Amino acid sequence: MMPEDMQRYSGWPACGEIDIMELIGHQPGTVYGTLHYGVPHTYTGESYQLPENKKFSDDFHVFTLDWEPGEFRWYVDGELYARQDKWFSTSMGTGEQNPQGAPFDRGFYLQLNLAVGGKWPGYPDHTTQLPQQMVIEYIKVYQKTEQ
């Protein structure tokens, strides 16, 4: 997920990025949940591995992110595997600390991306299998109402 207003805290990575789930091809049974933030660029997160050497591509799975002020919780198929409640927000150029909760204190949009290569996990080579596909059964977004 990326913020709707990336310049609010002086651009990426200070503006924040929320990875609900990332899967890299050479680790077919592992997904990652990560926050990106701050200057210098900092990322913190955890991974979840399916049991018995299963692959995520073998079946549909439910990936959940509970995002509340001051806390993120990641789940796979209802199992909590990561929780974060600490991050910082420093703007580029000024080095100023942004308000508490920043940069995750505003709206973000979903980004669905089937990426090939990059710094992580590395660039394609002769073993890279193409074409690939991403199959999504559904996406649900809920917002907690004030009580």
Residues labelled as active-site residues: 17, 22
Cα 141 to Cα 33, 60, 65, 66: the distances in Å are: 17, 18, 10, 10
CA distance 16 to 58: 32
CA angle 104, 107, 110 (to 5 degrees): 100
Q: Which residues contact 23 (CB under 8 A, 6 or more apart)?
A: 30, 31, 32, 56
Torsion, CA 34, CA 35, CA 39, CA 40, rounded to 10: -20
